[in-house]
Structure 1
Amino acid sequence: MADATGKYLDVYQSWQQHLFNFNLAVRETNTPGLRKPQLAALYASLGHLVMSPATTATIVMPTGTGKTDTMLGLLIAGRLARTLVLVPSDALRSQLVEKCLGLKKLREIGAVSATALNPVVRAIGSGMSAEDVQQLAEANVIVATPQALQRFDTESLQALAELCSHLIIDETHHVAAMTWGRVKTAFKEKPCLQFTATPFREDNQPLEGKIIYNYPLKDAQIDGYFKAIEFHPVREYNLELADQVVADKAVELLRGDREQGFDHLLMVRARSQKRAESLFELYKKHEDLSPILIHSKVPNRVKLLGEIVEKKYKIIVCVDMLGEGFDLPELKIAAIHDQHRSPAVTLQFIGRLTRVDDTLGDAKFVSNIANQKVDYQMSVLYKESADWSAVIRDVSHDKIAREVEKETFTEQFPDDADSEDIFGLNPNPKISAIAYHVERDQWRPEKANHFSQKKEPLQFLSINDDSDTIIMVTRRESPVGWAQTSAIVDTNWILYLAYYHAPDKTLFIHSSGDESQATRFLNLIAKDARRINGEPTFRTLHDIKLMKLQNVGLSRTRKDLRFTMHVGRDINTVISEIENGTAKKSNIFATGYEDGQRTTVGCSHKGKIWEMNSSSIIYWIEWCKRASQKLNDATINPSEVLKDVIRSEKIEGAWPTGLFYADWPEPIAIENEQKISLALNGEIFNLLDVELGKPQRTDDLTLEVPVIAIAADGTECQLPDITIRLLNDSYKVSCPGVKIIFAEESSFEQYLDANPLVLLAVDGSMVEGNYRFYTPNSLDLKLPIALIEAWDWGTTQIHSESMRATRNMDTVQGFTYSQIEDDYAFIFNDDGAGEIADLVAIKESKDAIFVDLYHCKYCPQKDRPGARVNDVYEVCGQASRSVKWLHTEEKFFNRLMGRYQQSLPKGFDRILKGDPIDLELLRNKCHDHEMIFRFVIVQPAISAAKISADQLAVLGTSYSYIKNVSGSDVRVVTSA
């Protein structure tokens, strides 16, 4: 051990005596030296270690620009005593150890001379005890993976941190939050540098550390560190043909390159082992190109990898096997059958194939550009004439710019240890606050520096003067409630937030502690603050549609009863008391819709406002801004905010009549439907392909709801009806044999017992379980006559509804299409089970996408247009159901594209006007364009001249429901 440690000291001493050569390579004169990004990154890193060693730093260098040798150069140029290098994979660990042992490239370019000895390197492959860690003292460089450090106990990890002088993290975007958390804590006092090509993490969490150097990909291309990238797109929407088209094009390019004398290889990228095995069947027929399949479960994988490096195989079908740690310059053609959705992975992947080598040609990528479901910024890669060199450069710049923007808010706070510690905690406060009116000159954020409490010392404090924001963390110790001793205490960490909204002169205070703590904080930072409480607080309930009160606290004037709390069904009994003034609102928590989206709102007479949510500090500030608008709007009358609140009443003795529409339980929002399935006798149906029919009242106590599903072959099949039995004080659901699959499989009956279907009645009320919900102002609401539009149907066969694949224009749907064709740029035939609407018609303006959903219904055979209420039940149910697609953005377009592709093999082209690429462009635009939905019911069985009160009531119920949720009117097209 003494000899080994002596070798470590010899190496370290040689680095102390060594003069690192910072010469820059000159390509024109073949002068060896460091690459431009290497030199700049070294200067930035060395300067950071001198000026701000306590701050975690990030160095961004695109793949292929010499990132690894920059890290190795830093060891010697910075004379780092003992460094732990964290890498994401075993392959990279082995590669880095090998490069450390020789410093080959650095010596070849003259950056490191013979004076500097090669480091003693040790690799960590498994957990170690604290005693074992001491054996690593013989090493100048220790290389480990996060997985290996996960096997260290706390004592061993701390011993490792104490042993090392510096921490370097390679490929930082791979390091997940939990894995990195323990290491960061252990190495908190040690300088940390992070090297990455893509400073955005794969787990969607913010990448910690200040970006001290960023070498743009654009500069890397200009400086010649990447070969040009050729993109060879194919466009095939038929999913049964797409893989073969990609394979044919990729093999054609490979043969062409090899005929030109390039020793190129083709990599075929698949997302899973099953997909790789399927794709291999397409390529194995090219026997002269020696195809090989390799993934983690292939036998003799290590041997095969060695043979791949020896270029024994010309076509390599793999599942992310040849990424970081695998350097094979001859890999120049990629067949991308399954696109990466992560920009980080895409940029890494492309970088592996674009290394400069004078003996090789340009990198070539082949992909099917039909229906790309990648990140919307990355989708520009898959356009017909995409310049991948330019696009990758721009997307990389934009993505890195996003990370820099995230830092902008952080950097507005002081550049000190407290700010770093606070944001290192990644605060995610509950969304709540108390608001105060404070004059601008009475807002004194700097006073927070003087926070002083004997039992609650200040731990971290950061003030953002530009955004008028304070973030503070304190530590409070208090005796435990179950012991009369000071020997043990409870420790609580308290988060304080303050945001001053200058336009309204309104200060918002949040504290995770109690009200007295929040008050002390307020008094410190603001003078003459006037709390916004009482009735104005309830203005936050304004404009909440379909509002349901979840709990209500009331203040009463009786001496024997000062306060009552009401939850659930009990709330219905006290709404009238609030309205007639016999009780005062103390606190209210409600759910509902605002701007077409589900929301929660809480408010109390004492002034507290909240949302049932936890989120980032940036979100909390934006929430405060929205709340400020309502709190300061004197035109909102707090006594009227509950006028449209939903009442409830228990259903007893018999189910109500007039139920015409059934929908899934409230917890199943549209974003969840695609993740949920129903199973029956081994067959599985995605919930988006399952439709509920009109509820049938078989007797006073029994409801039956038909369930229609689309099988894998596209045919409709009937699942067991959902039977709902009314009990004395409850209800019971029956749906024999059906299971629901959401995370895990469970009984569908039991799920519906706990989460009842939503049933809509003709009178405008809703039924959930054994309770009826309604608002007085929406009961028996009739459709406004002005929304009815009568068409002359001529000789159209109004008894036939669907155009079907033959595009039969002599139908209700066909005639509707002929009437609207000139009004839209894109029209889609979505008719069939699981439809959004029969016709989806879309047009654009400069900054909005207008989506009109046409729901068509036929006139029953032999009947003439008239006043039959049965003619409106089903079509109104369909229109009401489609409102759930609001605010789904790309999911909406993905649904249309999926149905289009699934129908093509059956000879059914659903696009009536426009092209499939229009759907892709709309999907990309929906992120920065407002989507405005409108709803149209088309039913020629209704006679505008004879329309009945019953028909108007059903139409009015659907109109009211859609209007409340979406804010949109509903047009109704009838016969004359």
Structure 2
Amino acid sequence: MNSRVTDIEILRDFISKVNVVVTTMDILTDSTVDAKMLFSEEFSHLFVDEAHHSEAKTWKELIERFDKEKVFLFTATPYRNDGKTLQGKVIFNFSLRKAQEQRYYKQINYLPIREYNRKLADEKIAERAVQQLREDIANGYNHIIMARCKDKKRAVEVFKYYEKYEDLNPIMVYTNISGLEKKIESIKRGEHFIIVCVNMLGEGFDLPNLKIAAIHDERQSLPITLQFIGRFTRTSYEELGNASFITNIAYPPIHEELEELYARNADWNLILPRLNENATQKEIDFKNYLDRFRHLDRSEIPFQSIRPALSTVVYRNDTNEWNPSNWQTGITDIDSYEHQYSDNSDDTLVIILGKISNVDWGNFEVVKNLEWDIIVVFWDLRPNVNRIFINTSIKGLSKDKLIESIFNEKASKGKIGGMDVFRIFHDVKRLTLFNVGARKGIGQDITFQNYIGKAVQDGIKLLEQGTIIKNNIFGVGHKEGEKISLGCSVSGKTWSYLRGNLNELTSWCRDIGDKITDESIDPNTVLQNTLEIEKISTRPQVTPVMVDWNPEMYEYAENKFEIRIGGYTYDLSNSELNVLESDILQPLQFSFDTSEHKIAFEVLLGQEEIDGQKIPFYKIIKKTNIEAVVLYGNKMLTLEDFLQEFAPTIWFADGSQLFQNNYIREKTEADIIPLNIIITDNWVGVNLNYESQDVVPYVQNSIQYYFINKIRNDFDIIYDDDGKGEIADIVGIKDLPTHIEIHLFHLKYAQGGIVNNNIDNFYQVCGQAQKSLNWKYKFRKGKDFFDHLFKRKEKKLNGVSCSRFVKGNETDLENVLIAAKWEKETKFHIYIVQPSLSKANASHDILQLLGNTYHYLHTLGNIELIVYSSI
């Protein structure tokens, strides 16, 4: 039936004379209501091809007119881009693996390029595709390139890179292009070796020679694309070789779609291997790790998508043999699991179990849960190391029994618990504990007590006094510049809130095992590295060096918070908080500063009596008679009330900080700054009392102008960010092949214009250096760093303006932004430039202040501070 029949009697007569009707869904769905009713009454069965469309509104409405048992759905792609699940019960599944075994599919060559510059990416994809085409032709394969683009505009752009290959007769096709039918016919006749298209020439388009897919735009439905180019590799096409797939692996969406592809069907691991010449070392390591599993080629579960929570129990082991196939004898209720699967490498056993269980909210025969669990057993056998780790999602699993079944009956005796587990906190700095469980001595009324929230500090003090004994601890700190979470219990369990793939899990376990068994580590290190948090009612007797916005505000874009003063509107990109100088016996003061306004505030700390108890309080008081309001979301507060609700953090010269009434200190003082990271200069011709180069014409004897010329040849982009709301006085950016370098230079003039080693020259600049660490983390979360630079691209002073780009331009910065968005690695560096310091005669107080700053940047950001000084 190749057209719609409007006369119901003619249609009825037609159906009565045939046994099988072949038609299209467009014809059926476009029929009248009466005709659709007739179809559902007269047809005994409905067979629907390309059934991944069955959830579309018109298709679904027609299908639902038929009894469910009459409908059979067929599709090669049983998933949809909108995530909707296809209805019905799977009665036959012809797997990709079987298709490959029966030679319906051959392996697809994965040939990605890695290019962060989008303008260059199209050309490189085209070059790689044509290179593959010429290789295939030379090998006797009459292949054709299909270059896919997301829309007509992109197709026109991309076609420019193919049209130069005149001998391959490239052609471009898209909906409504002039002469489309003639172009399609010429394609079918094999007149073109390169086809640039928007869609894939239709699902029914059958051209086996389309064997090379060049994907120029992300989000191009990779599963469907790959099956399209792979489905023609059949026995009847022996003259054709393997399909090839080319895209830019630097685009994160491509990464995401590939991960989704592998997760949907593990068989894609066989058809589209992950490893390629552009693989990173991390990808190579993970591929090599997975290749060690014995039966991965038979697995229906994509091992690369397994991401267990990082947790483990550790055992010492004394045997050099194991029997991973005996694991079932170690699980008491193994018969309750309907699904049981395992695979192992030479040192890792992965067990996946599934069982049907009752739902919590009722007792039904037909409504059940299918619960899946995982067990990972890792055997760390190295010279002088023999340890077993077990990770599981099953609560109440007898780990000892499982270990004994795989190793021997003595293995469980090597379980590591007690105080040794607390060694995992070694080298974790600035540790904040959120949960402390402790046991009391024999004979006490309460043998166990859990300290959480505000009570944690009480628990820490009792632990230090020896009044109670550690049982379990969980906290968050910093290690190698990264924020981490760790917890452990004397029972032997260690855990983190992080998840990782199987390779990352085993690496994490190996590190945990090395720490726990290191006899040189004092288990009480956990207390030595904790931050002391004290509720105070009087200001600390230390000089403040910096005040900064509430950390929560850095979770949002700079323009999330809008500050209005009179007719002026500001956000975080052109305003800042600064410490105001005051005697350490006087209340703390800070100011909100813009180019036009300065509003002073005072921090009032004290005590108030509530229900007979003296409770510390904290209050922000505005000292300047200027009205300002803050708008965020659908809220509006006065600036004074906003700072009360979003309390700023104040840092002090000794490394301590104040947040509301919470005074936070490290227990050990940082070392003075290493002298080898202080670089000297003679500052010839520089007025040490003049910091900024201002605007064009620049102040050429300023510190900033001199220093920019000193570093000019070191960077692709040099940006003058001097001013309220700055990231740094100078931002240097270098886009290297493997990563992006971001260098932040904080400058400060010398009071009096001379080298005098006055510590007052350092408080503010040290605070600015610490504050700029926030940009490392904002950089990771999005494009805020670049938005800041683009937004402030024009520098203004006294009615004169100029570009802040001293070297490079907006296009250069845009290219770096693209590379950063595509997850190119970024490395941050922070500098203090203060010519008032004499390295040869530096005072201990200055070196200690710089040491505190160095320690802060290194601990929280793994950033090495470098200081420029005088000789």
The match for 1:935 is 830
1:513 and 2:397 matched: no
Q: CA deviation at 1:650?
A: 0.6
2: distance between equivalents of 1:802 and 1:700?
33
Alignment of 1:30-109 (within 5 A): 97=25
TM-score by length of 1: 0.60
1:446 and 2:329 matched: no
2: distance between equivalents of 1:727 and 1:158?
76
The match for 2:704 is 813
The match for 1:540 is 424
Task: Indicate if the aligned counterparts of 1:458 and 1:474 stay in contact, CA closer than 8 A.
Answer: yes
The match for 1:738 is 630
Give me the identity figure in percent.
19
How big is each residue's C-alpha offset from its partner over 1:852-897, in whole Å with a ceiling of 9 and x where there is no partner? 432111235x554435443222211111122234477777998459
SS in 2 for 1:738: strand
Of residues 749, 758, 761, the one that matches 1:871 is 761
The match for 1:659 is 544
2: distance between equivalents of 1:769 and 1:511?
41
Alignment of 1:243-392 (within 5 A): 323=199, 340=217, 342=219, 375=252
Alignment of 1:9-24 (within 5 A): 10=20
1:524 and 2:398 matched: no
The match for 2:496 is 611
CA distance 1:456–1:878, shift in 2 (3 Å): same
1: distance between equivalents of 2:295 and 2:67?
32
1:767 and 2:650 matched: no
Task: Indicate if the aligned counterparts of 2:275 and 2:287 stay in contact, CA closer than 8 A.
Answer: no
The match for 2:854 is 959
CA distance 1:686–1:405, shift in 2 (3 Å): farther
The AA in structure 1 aligned to 2:108 is N
Of residues 823, 846, 853, the one that matches 2:744 is 853
Q: CA deviation at 1:441?
A: 4.1
1: distance between equivalents of 2:31 and 2:285?
33
1: distance between equivalents of 2:866 and 2:45?
80
Task: Structure 2: state its 5+ residue gaps.
Answer: 1-10, 98-103, 112-128, 182-196, 206-215, 230-248, 256-271, 608-615, 623-627, 796-800
1: distance between equivalents of 2:817 and 2:367?
62
The match for 1:48 is none
The match for 2:72 is 164
The match for 1:559 is 443
Of residues 290, 305, 313, the one that matches 1:434 is 313
Alignment of 1:478-877 (within 5 A): 493-503=372-382, 504-527=385-408, 528-529=411-412, 530-560=414-444, 561-579=446-464, 581-617=466-502, 619-654=504-539, 657-667=542-552, 672-674=555-557, 677-680=560-563, 687=572, 691-694=576-579, 705-708=590-593, 716=595, 725-726=604-605, 728=607, 729-732=616-619, 737-741=629-633, 756-778=647-669, 782-783=672-673, 788-806=678-696, 807-821=698-712, 827-841=718-732, 852-860=743-751, 864-877=754-767
SS in 2 for 1:793: coil
How big is each residue's C-alpha offset from its partner over 1:381-410, in whole Å with a ceiling of 9 and x where there is no partner? xxxxxxxxxxxx999987999899889949
How big is each residue's C-alpha offset from its partner over 1:160-192, in whole Å with a ceiling of 9 and x where there is no partner? 58832643328x6x6255x24xx38x4444326
2: distance between equivalents of 1:229 and 1:481?
53
2: distance between equivalents of 1:701 and 1:132?
89
The AA in structure 2 aligned to 1:470 is V
2: distance between equivalents of 1:394 and 1:913?
40
The match for 1:148 is 56
1:469 and 2:354 matched: no
Q: CA deviation at 1:473?
A: 1.9
CA distance 1:844–1:949, shift in 2 (3 Å): same
The AA in structure 2 aligned to 1:141 is V
1:190 and 2:92 matched: yes
Q: CA deviation at 1:698?
A: 11
The AA in structure 1 aligned to 2:860 is V
The match for 1:175 is 81
Task: Indicate if the aligned counterparts of 1:554 and 1:585 stay in contact, CA closer than 8 A.
Answer: yes
Task: Indicate if the aligned counterparts of 1:653 and 1:701 stay in contact, CA closer than 8 A.
Answer: no
The AA in structure 2 aligned to 1:630 is K
Q: CA deviation at 1:946?
A: 7.0
2: distance between equivalents of 1:452 and 1:458?
14
Q: CA deviation at 1:467?
A: 5.8
Q: CA deviation at 1:964?
A: 1.9
CA distance 1:464–1:516, shift in 2 (3 Å): closer
SS in 2 for 1:190: coil
2: distance between equivalents of 1:962 and 1:696?
24
SS in 1 for 2:394: coil
1: distance between equivalents of 2:621 and 2:487?
36
SS in 1 for 2:389: strand
The AA in structure 1 aligned to 2:48 is V
The AA in structure 2 aligned to 1:562 is T
Q: CA deviation at 1:489?
A: 9.8
2: distance between equivalents of 1:410 and 1:176?
33
2: distance between equivalents of 1:727 and 1:150?
69
Q: CA deviation at 1:782?
A: 4.9
Task: Structure 1: state its 5+ residue gaps.
Answer: 13-93, 102-120, 196-209, 232-245, 268-304, 312-320, 330-338, 353-371, 379-392, 710-715
Q: CA deviation at 1:602?
A: 0.9
The AA in structure 1 aligned to 2:833 is V
The AA in structure 2 aligned to 1:214 is I
1: distance between equivalents of 2:506 and 2:367?
37
2: distance between equivalents of 1:490 and 1:228?
45
CA distance 1:801–1:479, shift in 2 (3 Å): closer
Task: Indicate if the aligned counterparts of 2:350 and 2:374 stay in contact, CA closer than 8 A.
Answer: no
Q: CA deviation at 1:146?
A: 6.8
CA distance 1:800–1:927, shift in 2 (3 Å): same
Q: CA deviation at 1:757?
A: 3.1
How big is each residue's C-alpha offset from its partner over 1:82-117, in whole Å with a ceiling of 9 and x where there is no partner? xxxxxxxxxxxx9x857xx9xxxxxxxxxxxxxxxx
Q: CA deviation at 1:2?
A: 9.9
The alignment yields a C-alpha RMSD, in angstroms, of: 6.0
The match for 1:333 is none
Task: Indicate if the aligned counterparts of 1:827 and 1:842 stay in contact, CA closer than 8 A.
Answer: yes
SS in 2 for 1:140: strand
How big is each residue's C-alpha offset from its partner over 1:339-362, in whole Å with a ceiling of 9 and x where there is no partner? 95557689979x99xxxxxxxxxx
CA distance 1:677–1:913, shift in 2 (3 Å): closer
CA distance 1:473–1:673, shift in 2 (3 Å): same
2: distance between equivalents of 1:575 and 1:667?
27
The match for 2:108 is 214
SS in 1 for 2:75: strand
Task: Indicate if the aligned counterparts of 1:122 and 1:136 stay in contact, CA closer than 8 A.
Answer: no
CA distance 1:946–1:215, shift in 2 (3 Å): closer
The match for 2:116 is none
Task: Indicate if the aligned counterparts of 1:673 and 1:686 stay in contact, CA closer than 8 A.
Answer: no
